[in-house]
Amino acid sequence: MKNSSTLALIGGFGFVGRNILENIATNPDFDGLSPVVIDNLTNPAPGYEALDVPSFIGSYEDAGAVEFLDGLEDSGEGRVFVFLAGETRVAESKDRPLDFIDANIANPARFVMEAVKPGDKFILISTAGALFDGTFDVSVSSPYCPKNFYGATKAAEEMILEKLVELRGGEFRIIRLTNVYGKFSDNKVSAIHAFTRAAINGDAVFINGDGQQSRDFIYAGDVGYGIATLANKLRAGEQSDPVNMLGSGVSTTLMDVVAAIEEVTGKGLNYEKIPAKELLATEPRDVIANKDDVKVLLGDTARAFVEGIRETHGYYAK
């Protein structure tokens, strides 16, 4: 594409990556972005194989991944990287800490040193909730206070990759996501997706604790739009913040999730509450993103929660 910049999506065939690709394909505002994908197909979203997107199938750690990127046509304006790879299973981080250090710090650091060139832009997709202990509203300026080992590795990743990208002559940005749900989430086992599939199939589900723990849920289509928006700003040389937040600015309990699914489906959800004390001890009680922070990339376009649940249910119902 003439006058376009390469947008390298590392892990781009997964849940969030597919939503980025859909936004770019359907929104003319993003015509200046020319996406390519590196993905090892560990958790690909359905339909990825039908996409007309240049891709390298394999790990970003493979030598062939950097060769693939170097072989692409260069617009001379620098490439934009969106790094989506890494370990995300919070509960497993305490049992496999060294694996999380490799996946979220050491391996991404090596990739930056091998792949990033002067003039490139690098967006790290990070986490909002896991970096903090759940006792206050999360803002882009909140000090790190992770409640679990996963969060600690993401905090370290943010700091280390920022300095490495700068050493390589690139420009670094962070986007912290709250809890993402929605289309292309077939491989996700998080509460909204599990509950929605159970409602369709008539299955029973478990709710950990009293169900009053809350999260800031954001629809995946909005996340794809927000990430593409920042990538487009970097491509165009427009002003953007070093740290960005994508969330809804609204905190929703698990029981509110149940109520929304029941409203959309018109039938009750078969659930049982279980103590799960050990699991809950590793998680923040409540997560909510600062309302002003989430508007920086989304404005007032974020979907209402029930509407997002309706679209998620429609996706699975097909």
One domain, residues 123 and 205: no
Strand locations in 40-192 (E): 55-57, 80-83, 121-127, 171-177, 179-181
The rounded distance, in Å, linking the Cα atoms of 228 and 150 is 26
What's residue 74's pLDDT? 73
Per-residue tokens: 267: 């039938």
Residue range 176-216, pLDDT digits in tens: 999 999 999 999 988 999 999 999 999 999 998 999 999 99
The answer as to whether 297 is a domain residue is no
CATH number reported for the structural domain that contains residue 197 in this entry: 3.90.25.10
One domain, residues 85 and 39: yes
One domain, residues 23 and 148: yes
The answer as to whether 190 is a domain residue is yes
Matching residue, tokens 């999506």:
9
Burial of 2 (0-12, 13-18, 19+ CB in 10 A): exposed
Please state the separation of Cα 165 from the chain's center in Å: 20
DSSP 299: T
Q: What type of residue is 282?
A: T
Task: With a cut of 70, list the residues of the chain below it in pLDDT.
Answer: 1-3, 75-76
Residue range 216-258, pLDDT digits in tens: 999 999 999 999 999 999 999 999 999 999 999 999 999 999 9
The rounded distance, in Å, linking the Cα atoms of 95 and 88 is 13
> Residue 121 forms beta bridges with which residues?
80, 171
* Domain membership of residue 31 as a residue range: 5-180+218-246
Measured torsion, CA atoms of residues 153, 224, 181, 281, in degrees rounded to the nearest 10: 20
What's residue 278's pLDDT? 83
